[in-house]
Structure 1
Amino acid sequence: MKNKKLYILAILAIAFTSCNKELDEVNINPNAPEIPQADYLLTGAIKNTSDTYWGTTNNLNSSLLFAQHWAKVQYTEEDRFIYSNSSFTALWSTGYAQSIAGLNKIVELADAQGNPNYKGVALVLRSWVFLLLTDAYGDVPYTQAGKIKQFVTPVYDKQKDVYYGILADLKSAQTALDPASGAPVISGDIMYGGNITHWKEFANSLRLRIALRIADKEPAKSQAVIDEIKAEGGNYINSNAFNAQLVYQVSPQQNPVAASFETRNDYRISKTIVDKLFALKDPRLPIYASKTENVTPQVYVGIPNGSTNSEASAIGLANSSKPGAYFLNPLAPAVILSYAELLFDRAEAAARGFTTENAADLYNQAIRASFDQYGISGNVVDDYINQAAVKYDPTNYKKSIGEQKWIALFGQGLEAWTEQRRLDYPQLTASVNTVLNGKIPVRFIYPGSEQSLNGQNYKNAVSSQGADLLTTKLWFDAF
């Protein structure tokens, strides 16, 4: 009887193995490649990250409010800084699970296939993703990130180490990228169409951005990075035509801002920036803001940030300005790094003594580049720059550059918020209705899932960096 049972079990085991093999064969999709393709991964990484960067959770519903570019006219809880640990998950989950994981795979494929241009592009994009993450959260997984087979629970690296690591990656990218004839080409590039020269310029522009990000804490490192770029003979973005950006298509591939306004109507331009643009007679106002639906004396009316629902409702939907038509266009680009920003960065590098360039001249060029980005030229630009309130002040370069850069970065919530924290200009005020005792958020709080899925490393990060609160200043934010 015992032998009979063993015989039956053996037959069942063979049948089960055979069945599994047949199911494995049936479940193979004949139309899907067995090995991921770098071009598809590249397209996906650019699109997914740009959507997240420009989209609702990290832009409209948070950083644009913190930078006081936009405000809420309905459901104003976020504009009063009422958030939970489930409020800031999109940047984290997309950044790690999709963008970084996909870009790591491109690096792996590029090494295996001998295509350094794919590797260089992937390193540039991955550096940008890590920059977004650390600028927002502070200490984040970096060295072990996206390596799920090796590190299920990755450690958090200190923000300083993340910045240094990104700078090293960008230097490696610069070496890998080869625009020479005969170098392996790439496809799937929906930003620069495979133009490797422009990727090299973008890489250097990111290096300069990060060099300034750490300048108040590590000026010697900032100087070394800028000197390194110069010694390499590297170029930066040199025209609005070559801005690092994703130009969107028609629905369903439209700009996330346009997609949001198809179904909701709770965002308006902030009174803070409307007042500033009026005070400076800034011709970008009708581009940044729409006229009110009802005829109003001011024509463009912003909502005060931090309004209660009843206060915002009293102003009304028809008596307040939506963002301008440019930003509501489905084809509007998601700008990652503009020529105007690059010129402001060069002006600041000169003001800090990192270069021998003329800071005032570069500052004026930056303003002109911002106007040109929106098709504004001629005497109005000269008149604007010659105003006393706009002229470059070498005794307080942070104020001059900070205020004009804040205006130029309109719509780029994460970057505008980060630069305002770093330069401390413009000096923004929180509403009495907000819940942070008069403070504006200076970081995102970690996703709640980290406490349950990566608990010990989360605790270590909090112990090192400070309480997991919106008001805990990050390492780069020196003043």
Structure 2
Amino acid sequence: MKKFTYIIGSAMFALLSLNSCQHEIDTFNDNPNSPTELSTPTTLLTGGEIGTIINSTGNLPRTLSLFTQHTNGNQFQSLDYTNYFITETDVETDWTNIYQAGVNLNQIITQFGAQNPYYDGVARVLLAMNVGYATDAWGDVPFSQAFQGNNNLNPKYETQQQVISQIQSYLDIAIADFAKPQSANKYLPSSNDIFYGGDIAKWNKLAYALKARYALRLTQRDGSTVAAQKALNYLQNSFTSKSDNLVATFDGGNNQNLWYGFNNQRAGYMSMGKYFVDILKNNNDPRLAYFVGLDSHNPPGYSGSAPEDADTDASPFGNYFSGNASTPNVIFSYSEIKFIEAEAQFRLGNTTAAQAALKAAVSASLVDVTGADNPTFANTASAAVTLQNIITQKYIALFTTMEPYNDWRRTGFPALTPNQSSQSKKIPLRLITPKSERTLNTNATVVGDLYAPVWWDN
């Protein structure tokens, strides 16, 4: 795993610290997500991975953390989001970033995939991940006709059911690609792979991890036990330890942690959320001081801001995920794998196995966040083998990712109370269609209702 300090120079500093209202990619002349005829799989992969880091650790998960009350918006646009006021222009950047990253990855597949199965597989895994973000947030989205740039400005939308099926198919092809010998490749990923340094075994594990994630996503569609068994089958070939984690690293110079960059430029816009902080405090959670910064009260302590009470003196973001410009962010963790296993075993009625997996999940998170396990706390946190406790523990561990928002919609846990000062008094169930899609894509499936559930949430 390498810190990415490659070819972007000062442009990348702006890319990773930009105003969330502006496009984070196509502002720059030296654009890693603007392929040219001279592009190679080497440069395309680096650009696609940088785009994935933006989509995994930038504005999209930060916005959704307001819905899940991990954080709270106290001022300006963040306060609007906490009040569930989000317009079709607010979501433009996130949509654009996902689909621009996909252009790079799709070009690897279409132009170089036949002679380079490892590059093809890596691109398919990353494309599946990014399209997964899109469909989880927006429901029906373009996939099969997307990522073609000016060659198709009106890609058709596919149903979420079709999109998730295609995600699984892409991952299957990637797994088949990774099974081929090195000699089948003209080029091999190496240091240009800023996630795994060309380690194809780790990419193969990530492909299975994503298959498990999206199998379990369909508990309300495939049926609880069917989805659970599929997930368990995929987990057998996925992450086996923390060393398999997919991690975004930053050099602290030109390339800065996005949570840090936001907080540094917009101090006071957001604080930690009261609901999340209270869970940590009430359970003497060892991760409290890592997830949560000291507040500005006298004396200082750990406090969260409630949606109805914007408290700019409440605790800021903690050092674990935004301590400085070079703080790494975990995108997909071994901890998530064990939480998937715990839920799947629970749904299949295997209580003992579920508890063991839940304890392992909590322990893995403790190691990730604090640097050490705490067996006493892990035992206490995993004592209740219920769906509510499994998802609540996962909600704590996977803060900074989209998964808590997806799990809350899918299971109803944790039992969040909507912002009572908002007009709707309902937590949004999706993002609405961006204005550019509504006005420019004649094939767009336009949804303007934040409270219309996506397909897997029905």
Specify the TM-score bucket, using the shorter chain as the normaliser: 0.7 to 0.9
Residue number in structure 1 paired with 2:176: 175
Task: Give the alignment partner of residue 283 of structure 1, picking from 282, 286, 295.
Answer: 286
User: CA-to-partner distance for each residue in 1:443-473, whole Å, 9 max, x for gaps?
Assistant: 0001011111113x22xx34xxxx5211111
Task: Give the alignment partner of residue 438 of structure 2, picking from 443, 447, 451.
Answer: 451
Residue number in structure 1 paired with 2:214: 210
1:376 Cα offset (Å): 4.3
Task: Give the alignment partner of residue 53 of structure 2, picking from 39, 50, 55.
Answer: 50
Residue number in structure 1 paired with 2:341: 346
CA distance in 2, matches of 1:221, 1:452: 40
CA distance in 1, matches of 2:304, 2:178: 45
**Letter of the aligned partner of 1:82 in structure 2?**
F
CA distance in 2, matches of 1:223, 1:417: 19
Are 1:363 and 1:392, in contact at CA under 8 Å, matched by a contact in 2? no
SS of 2:330's partner is: strand
User: CA-to-partner distance for each residue in 1:195-233, whole Å, 9 max, x for gaps?
Assistant: 000000000000000000012211376367447647xxx
1:90 Cα offset (Å): 1.7
From the superposition, tell whether residues 429 and 202 of structure 1 become closer, same or farther in structure 2 (CA, over 3 Å): same
From the superposition, tell whether residues 279 and 447 of structure 1 become closer, same or farther in structure 2 (CA, over 3 Å): same
From the superposition, tell whether residues 356 and 367 of structure 1 become closer, same or farther in structure 2 (CA, over 3 Å): closer
Q: How many residues matched?
A: 416
Are 2:338 and 2:361, in contact at CA under 8 Å, matched by a contact in 1? yes
CA distance in 2, matches of 1:354, 1:347: 11
Residue number in structure 2 paired with 1:421: 409
CA distance in 2, matches of 1:170, 1:392: 34
Residue number in structure 2 paired with 1:435: 423
Residue pairs, 1:60-459, within 5 angstroms: 60=62, 62-75=63-76, 76-96=79-99, 98-112=100-114, 114-148=115-149, 151-178=152-179, 180=181, 182=183, 184=185, 185-187=188-190, 188-219=192-223, 222=227, 225-226=230-231, 229=234, 235-265=237-267, 266-296=269-299, 299-305=301-307, 307=308, 311-312=309-310, 315=311, 317=312, 319-328=313-322, 329-353=324-348, 358-377=353-372, 381-387=374-380, 390-393=382-385, 396=386, 398-412=387-401, 414-436=402-424, 438-455=425-442, 457-458=443-444
The structure that has the greater radius of gyration is 1
User: CA-to-partner distance for each residue in 1:5-40, whole Å, 9 max, x for gaps?
Assistant: xxxxxxxxxxxxxxxxxxxxxxxxxxx984311111
**Letter of the aligned partner of 1:147 in structure 2?**
Q
TM-score (norm 2): 0.85
CA distance in 2, matches of 1:84, 1:120: 36
CA RMSD of aligned residues (A): 2.3
CA distance in 1, matches of 2:452, 2:182: 50
**Letter of the aligned partner of 2:134 in structure 1?**
L
User: CA-to-partner distance for each residue in 1:101-157, whole Å, 9 max, x for gaps?
Assistant: 111101123335x11000000000000011000000000011211134653311111
CA distance in 1, matches of 2:352, 2:150: 48
CA distance in 1, matches of 2:369, 2:233: 33
**Letter of the aligned partner of 1:323 in structure 2?**
F
Deviates most, 47-56 or 339-348: 47-56
SS of 1:85's partner is: coil
Residue number in structure 2 paired with 1:14: none
Residue number in structure 1 paired with 2:449: 469
CA distance in 2, matches of 1:34, 1:54: 30
1:442 Cα offset (Å): 0.8
CA distance in 1, matches of 2:183, 2:198: 14
From the superposition, tell whether residues 223 and 359 of structure 1 become closer, same or farther in structure 2 (CA, over 3 Å): closer
From the superposition, tell whether residues 33 and 72 of structure 1 become closer, same or farther in structure 2 (CA, over 3 Å): closer
SS of 2:141's partner is: coil
CA distance in 2, matches of 1:224, 1:377: 32
CA distance in 2, matches of 1:149, 1:260: 32
Deviates most, 142-151 or 331-340: 142-151
**Letter of the aligned partner of 2:407 in structure 1?**
E
CA distance in 1, matches of 2:42, 2:221: 39
**Letter of the aligned partner of 1:303 in structure 2?**
S
CA distance in 2, matches of 1:224, 1:344: 14
CA distance in 1, matches of 2:338, 2:327: 22
1:51 Cα offset (Å): 1.4
Residue number in structure 2 paired with 1:3: none
Residue number in structure 1 paired with 2:4: none
Percent identity (aligned): 31
Consecutive unaligned residues of structure 1, counting only runs of 5 or more, are 1-31
SS of 1:253's partner is: coil
CA distance in 2, matches of 1:104, 1:240: 29
1:159 Cα offset (Å): 0.5
**Letter of the aligned partner of 1:421 in structure 2?**
R
Residue number in structure 2 paired with 1:18: none
1:165 Cα offset (Å): 0.9
SS of 1:133's partner is: helix
1:377 Cα offset (Å): 3.0
**Letter of the aligned partner of 2:132 in structure 1?**
L
Residue number in structure 2 paired with 1:13: none
Residue number in structure 1 paired with 2:10: none
